Structure 1
Amino acid sequence: MNTQATFKTSKAQRYLGTLCKHFGHKVPVQMDGDRGRIELPFGQCELAASDDALQIEVSAETKGNLDKAARVIANHLERFAFRENPQIEWH
């Protein structure tokens, strides 16, 4: 199962790095240029930064874990990007 969201921002690369560094202290993380992967115990998050957006894709084995992973990523992004007041809508 997976869900996706797009956060329109000119600071996508910064937020990608911030999310990966933050979670890298707790779980396996890979970051290579404008892409990142966060491996949570209950799901994975793929990130891709462009000049005007941060693409986020969360996947998990169950709906409950998918919802939990999406909530964790969104909550952290909302805290890190509080000045931009992101509204994360999953599709």
Structure 2
Amino acid sequence: MAASTARIATPNGRRYMTQLCKHWAHKFEVVYDETQGLVPFGPDSRCRMAADDAGLTLTLEVEESGQMERMQGVVIDHLKRFAFREDLGEVAWTGVG
């Protein structure tokens, strides 16, 4: 399984994480609390989120590395919709493991 992580500096990390989880809960079996969230997009991909006072960390895991770029785009596009009042800047993903 391939994984990549992005850290977004924002004082609204918890709010954005909650909004993303509530949005995707209409389609997927999302689990979240005040500081962590898990969105299982399917049997072969998921997004883990961790929020704190300084930002939001996204860890995207996909079965096939060829899916990574598309799924990164999906996650960031949704995040930017909720964060439209704030310029999050360019989001940089880094590989994990």
Structure 1 moving runs of 4+ over 3 Å: none
Q: CA RMSD in A?
A: 1.1
Question: How high is the sequence identity, in percent, across the aligned residues?
Answer: 33
Return the structure number with greater strand share.
Answer: 2
Tell me the SS of whatever aligns to 1:25: coil
Q: In structure 2, list runs of 5 or more residues that go unmatched.
A: none
Q: 1:31-86 CA deviation, whole Å, 9 max, x = no partner?
A: 02200000112510000001011010000011122222211111100111011122
Return the structure number with greater helix share.
Answer: 1
Tell me the SS of whatever aligns to 1:18: helix
Which residue is equivalent to 2:72? 70
Task: Return the alpha-carbon distance in structure 1 between the equivalents of residues 23 and 59 of structure 2.
Answer: 18
Whether contact under 8 Å (2:47, 2:60) holds in the other structure is yes
- 1:35 equivalenced with 2:59 (yes/no): no
Structure-to-structure mapping, 1:1-91, within 5 angstroms: 1-41=2-42, 42-86=44-88, 87-91=90-94
* TM-score of the aligned structures, taking structure 2 as reference length: 0.87
Q: Which one has the largest radius of gyration?
A: 2
| Paired residue type of 2:75 | I
* TM-score of the aligned structures, taking structure 1 as reference length: 0.93
Aligned length: 91
CA displacement at 1:27 relative to structure 2:
1.1
Whether contact under 8 Å (1:3, 1:90) holds in the other structure is yes
